[in-house]
Structure 1
Amino acid sequence: MSNSVASGIFSINDIIATDTIYNIPRYQRLYVWTNDQVTTLLEDIQHACFTERPLFYLGGVLIVRTSDTLPHFDLIDGQQRFTTLWLLCLTLGMELSGFLEVEEKSRLTFSIREDVTRYFDAIRKNKEFKGKLNGQLEAGSLTKIIYAKNLIRGFVATEFKDQPERLEKFRNYIRYQVKVIISTVPVKTNLNKLFEVINNRGLQLQHHEILKSFILSKITSDKKVRIRYGKIWNACADMTDYIERNLYYEASRSVVEFYNLHNGQFDFAGLLRIMDGKDTVASPMTLSAIIESRPPKNNEFKTPRELEEHPETKDDEYENVRSILTFPQLLQHTLRIYLFRSGKKDIPQITEKDLLVSFAAFLKDLTEKEALAFIELLFKIRVRFDKHVIKWVTTSPNTETHLIKPLQKQRKKAYSQTFYFRREKPSGSDAFTLLQSMLYHSQQKTTLHWLTPFLYKMLSTENRDELLIYLQKLDNAMFCTKDPDELMKRSWKYLGKEVKVAPEAINLEALKKSDGTGFWHYWFYKLEYVLWFMERQLHPDWRNFKMISKNSIEHVSPQSQKRQDFNTVSKACLNTFGNLALVTRNINSEYGHNEYNVKQRKFLNNKKDNRLDSLKLDLIYASDEWSDDLCNAHNLKMQQVMKDYVEKYT
């Protein structure tokens, strides 16, 4: 009997073609999904079907074989999804009826709960259930199942009323395009230990782990090569530390000798030579190996200070860091670059939950050469990502800030041949970090489309000044022009090209409107960066300014004005860009509807405490007065400084 965990991806049609029976064991809870959860699943599948997505991953289930001779399994994790799928196939019927039963017996059974099994038999045969349930627990669970069954029937009846062709398309999509990841554990598995791992460490396979397995499985010519590329992948996958430290953990030795300080690149061939270990693709991993290899979710197993370090290493070089991207997001940005280089079409969108869908076309006819090339590209991008892209850095117990800590290779002492890596904290703010921080806070964080062309640019230059100018131009081209394309298309069109924008394409008209709280937050974030970049020499107290998340638009002259406030503006100015600023929700509440001079005192007190809430407000509150004339003058100045900046970097 095998002592390994085997995982595979199956369509509903694949399952129909088997005579496998799945049992819900007694120790598993019965059905608990709410109507909202069922509705969300139905809507997600419907959306995937009619937006022509090639695949829909339902998730994973974990099963254990219960018979040496028959294909019978206990379903020990994922039974909520599986039961919902069974109910959906029950409602849709036709070709999907094969999912419900095996040789006239239900494909889904329930240990010891004979009455529940009889209920499923009854609805499968379209008969009335007349059994009696044992206790409130089973009755309550069955109520949830009945609610789910009725909800699914109502959904299908409503969404596909008098639309037989759409219904047939939906039915076929579920049969062939909905996929389930099924992992089988050995018969003699210690289930108590297994559940502990599932709950505490998350045994459920992540999509990027499945993707890794697919890509590595194409490397068949040399087992050692597969192992080494697998370790490179692992080093790229850990987004909670820097790449050189991840390489250290994978190689169990320093990799500093393979880093070229002059070109900022690693000797990839040299790294491969020192990566040895166990092959996890040639055969399924043993359960014990999975248990031991899975780190706890908080990554406490790592002890960075065990790394060989420079004698002058400071504590802040080991401040906790986290990426602005997840690994699946980085994979999708890498895939876009790979596809562009290969002359192929872009993926439909960047979305973490659709990682495997994004890679479906890439994986279809993947060769060993392409698999090796993709992993090497992933590594090159990850190295540059860690070198040139901001990270969240924990600078105190309750404070995170965006920083770029450049990778340095230093000698132990003069003329020494012993080198060490260092990541020293920069002093003060810099344009490169602030610009990225502005883009991070002002754009959708689950996509960050601007990163694809930015990462591509890094493959051709390591010069920080060149990268800054490129990103300034890219930002202006993507967000300050009349380009009607969606952001995916905008970011794709700038891959491999110098960014040039015609003056007539610049569009800053939004700043002239009176949109009040309807202003796009990007304009406020952008202005903060532009002010700092263009005027920081005039304001020494702006030296340490940082971008932070802000979500409230503040009216300088409040919407509800008080009689004693003589520093007010008219309705004509109230909702203009000049009378507004973007602040945190706490600051917005603190200012409230207070009169101008009260807000001014609060702002200046915060500034004395080294909390500079807004550069725009710093300019406004430099004056003890506020009026229509001052508001209009400030507004025109802000529009002009923005115009000057955008025209300079297009």
Structure 2
Amino acid sequence: MSEQICQLSIRELLGESVHYVIPVYQRNYAWDEAEITQLIQDVIDYLPQDGAAPQHYYIGTLVVFERQHTGSTAYETIDGQQRLTTLSLLLSHLKNSGEPGLAWYDAPRIRFESRERSQKTFAAIFAGALEPVPKGFLAAQDTNTSITNGYQLIQKILPRKLKENGVDRHEFTRYLLENVVLMRVCVPQQTDLNHYFEIMNSRGEQLEKHEVLKARMMEALRDDAEPERSRHCLHVVWEACANMERYVQMGFTPTQRDAIFGAGDWGRFQPTDFTQLRDALALPATGIGAGSTALTLDQILEPSRPAAGAGGKAEPKGEEAPERFHAVINFPNFLLHVLRVMTGKNVPLDDKALIAEFDTQVFNADEPAAKIREFVFALLRCKYLFDHYVVKREFAKGTDGWSLKRLKWNAAVDRHGAGRTSYVNTFGADDEGAGADRGDNRRILMLLSAFHVSTPTRVYKHWLNAALKHLYDAQQVQEKSYLDYLESVSRAFVFDRYLAGDDRAEYFDIVYGRKGQCARGRDEAAGSDRIASRLAYGHIENNLVFNYLDYLLWLKHRTNDAVSGFEFTFRSSVEHYYPQNPKEGQAPLEPDAVDSFGNLCLISHSKNSRLSNFMPTAKKEYYANNQIDSIKQYLMMQRPEWNADAIRAHGEEMIGVLVDSLEREAVADGLVS
């Protein structure tokens, strides 16, 4: 081998007559909807605009070891196999769907070592076993469901993303092959592979973009009227907010909590501007910034120490342990949400744009220091609102579930002589745990979790930005108005974007132009035959259509024991309840019936792979002993027979439920009594 590091386009990488061996010590293929969506969106984002020359998009590194004496060139894949497998599946889909210019991709370049099922699955996919629907020669006993899941997700996500972004499929393919590049790093022959594999995940990390951003802000505040105090405020707020898994109050000392979030309460946000916030975080006698205006890079990036408890001791691990809550977004993307809310500008909600957007909106402003002060205040306020009013995943007492809770400080001393923090429902009863199922707190939790599972990636979470915008603008957050707003936004997303065809609205216009109001009226939607066609298989643009319907059905049937405990999960596979390809001896239905909305529901990919060819009776028997995936699916199973007439009747009923929800918009606007 002439070079140990090669820059290769995807065409060069997968066009070589080489094999990339996935050794047995590597984990199985594990990418799901979030990772695959992110990869496709990243490629789309780097496509040249307005006739500009294409620029390379560097997709990462592939670390390999060249095996000797194999008869042909073979690279053992040490790092990067998830990305390599996904790219290979993507090219297989493009080839199988008739994309021109892929004649050179004449054989799979991946070989799975000691994994016969994975090897057979990949070979079958390459040969078109899943295009356009599963063929019989991909037998269940020879199938790796994780790999078929990845391929089917590509089938679903790629057309949707191309349509959303107005990108031509041929243009996407050309850019993917020629301008998406990867660095292949071949380790030396004398490398101890076992030792290398052990240490590769513990190597030093590069400075992340948000850390660079913080350092630049600290530098820009040198020109502030009170640079020491302002920079100290930025540092403390930034570190308190950066841990998205922890409620922001826990990033401050008890004295600071009293000043910012209310003495003896810690549940209110008291400062009204940066000056009040800076005063609440007055410089300590010693520590960062004391006695000098110069800070080292280590000090700028130093994480805040754990806050002391009310008795002066470190907070105990337990109630406040970071592992208890899992946020729906990471910190770099959250920074962009705050910037959009603060400025009202159409800031991209993708952390690839983090530095560029802060250059435009903050550092290139007439008074950068003033913009930074404004942002610091907005950051802390948004994190407080996010913690208290946005759904998160909670892990407690050996179980996990969706949570909508606020932090509560109980000043009454315990047996150790100190108060304690707890987490109670954001709205309604103050008790912990079971109260989450009561009243509007549960309705808001259900809506927010429906939004999140419909858009599982960390980028482009427009529902989250809509929620933050409403919360940030509110003088005081009211339970009823927040619920009404979230329901209105969900209707607007479904009817004004996903079911609107070429007349679809932009997210920014829905949230910032129309304040979340749906523009489509009930009569207009009910009289449109186009809704049925846009709800047919292959035409539904976003899973929120299914999840919003399930929310409406939950409201309607929640007194039913089988429905009351329903929870939204990351279901991403559209199932045909009557199968597209029934088992031998069973009669197929006409495509117009089998692909219509009445025959579709949302379930997990693993269950879809297992049950896809089962008849409705067999599926009903399976779910008799298993939790339902969908309320729509549950209602389908209640019908004694499932045929073309039942499909038509159920479809009309479900479309009616969707359309009838638009009447709520009219009531909220005072248009009907």
Structure 1 length as normaliser, TM-score? 0.61
> How many matched pairs?
460
Distance 1:420 1:254, change over 3 A: farther
Alignment of 1:35-434 (within 5 A): 35-36=9-10, 47=47, 200=202, 202-220=204-222, 221-222=225-226, 223-247=228-252, 251=253, 255-256=257-258, 258-260=260-262, 264-267=268-271, 268=277, 271-273=280-282, 277-279=287-289, 283=294, 285=296, 293=302, 319-340=323-344, 345-347=345-347, 349-362=348-361, 363-365=363-365, 366-395=367-396, 401-412=401-412, 420-424=420-424, 426-427=433-434, 429=437, 430-434=442-446
- Map 1:621-640; keep pairs closer than 5 Å: 621-640=637-656
**Residues 197-206 or 465-474, more deviating:** 197-206
SS of structure 1 residue aligned to 2:382 = helix
Q: How many angstroms does 1:259 deviate by?
A: 2.2
Select the residue among 450, 466, 486 that pairs with 2:463. 450
Offset of 1:423 from its aligned partner? Answer: 1.4
- Does 2:637 match 1:616? no
- Residue matched to 2:453: 441
Deviations for 1:94-146, whole angstroms, at most 9, x for unmatched residues?
xxxxxxxxxxxxxxxxxxxxxxxxxxxxxxxxxxxxxxxxxxxxxxxxxxxxx
The aligned amino acid for 2:364 is: K
User: Any idea what SS the aligned residue of 2:470 has?
Assistant: helix
Taking the aligned partners of 2:479 and 2:241, their CA distance within structure 1 comes to 22
Structure 1, residues 243-281: CA drift from partner, whole Å, max 9, x if none?
11122xxx4867256424598324435642376731499
Q: What is the letter of the counterpart of residue 501 of structure 1?
A: A
Aligned-pair identity (%): 20
Distance (whole Å) between structure 1 residues aligned to residue 665 and residue 316 of structure 2: 40
- Displacement of 1:453 after TM fit? 3.0
Report matched runs for 1:2-21 at 5 Å: none
Alignment CA distance shift 1:205-1:523 (3 Å): same
**What's the secondary structure of 1:476's corresponding residue?**
helix
**Which deviates further from its counterpart, 511-520 or 499-508?**
499-508
Residues 558-601 of structure 1: CA deviation (Å, up to 9, x unaligned) = 112357669x8554421111111111011112223122211101
Out of 551, 555, 559, the residue aligned to residue 572 of structure 2 is: 551
- How far, CA to CA, are the matches of 1:554 and 1:46 in structure 2? 33
Q: Which residue of 2 aligns with 1:519?
A: 540
The residue aligned with 1:478 is: 493
Shift, 1:52, TM fit: 8.0
Task: Name the counterpart of 1:31.
Answer: 5
Mark the CA change 1:638 to 1:313 in structure 2 (over 3 Å): closer, same or farther.
farther
Contact 2:283 2:289 in 1 (8 A): no
Other structure's SS at 2:624 match? helix
Give RMSD over aligned pairs. 4.5
- Matches of 1:545 and 1:308, distance apart in 2: 43
- 5+ residue gaps, structure 1, are 1-28, 61-195, 296-300
Choose 1 or 2 for highest CA Rg: 1
Contact 1:478–1:491 (8 Å) recurs in 2: no
How far did residue 235 of structure 1 move?
1.0
Q: Does 1:462 align with 2:464?
A: no
**Aligned CA distance change for structure 1 residues 242 and 43 (closer, same or farther; 3 Å):** closer
Relative contact order (alpha carbons < 8 A, sep ≥ 6): 1 or 2 greater?
Answer: 1
Q: Give the superposition deviation at 1:534.
A: 2.8
Range with greater deviation from structure 2 (612-621 or 44-53): 44-53
Per-residue CA shift, 1:177-199, capped at 9, x if unaligned?
xxxxxxxxxxxxxxxxxxx9997
Question: Which residue of the partner structure matches residue 587 of structure 1?
Answer: 607
Specify whether residues 623 and 565 from structure 1 end up closer, same or farther in structure 2 by C-alpha distance, changes over 3 A only: farther
Q: CA deviation at 1:393?
A: 2.5
1:596 matched residue in structure 2: 616
Is 1:501 aligned to residue 519 of structure 2?
A: yes
Offset, 1:234? 1.4
- Within a 5 Å distance, the mapping from 1:561-580 to structure 2 comes to 561-562=582-583, 570-580=590-600
TM-score by length of 2: 0.59
Is the CA contact 1:256–1:419 (under 8 Å) kept in the aligned structure 2?
no
Preserved contact between residue 217 and residue 282 of structure 1 (Cα < 8 Å): no
**Could you say which residue in structure 1 is the equivalent of 2:32?**
none
AA in 1 matched with 2:478? N
Report if aligned partners of 2:536, 2:596 keep a CA contact under 8 Å in 1: yes
Query: Is the 8 Å Cα contact of residues 351 and 447 (structure 1) preserved in structure 2?
Result: yes
**Equivalent in the alignment of 2:127:** none
Shift of 1:469: 0.8
Compared with structure 1, are the counterparts of its residues 57 and 421 closer, same or farther at alpha carbon in structure 2 (3 Å cutoff)?
A: farther
For structure 2, the residue ranges without an aligned partner over 5 or more in a row are: 14-38, 61-197, 272-276, 425-431, 667-673
1:324 partner amino acid: V
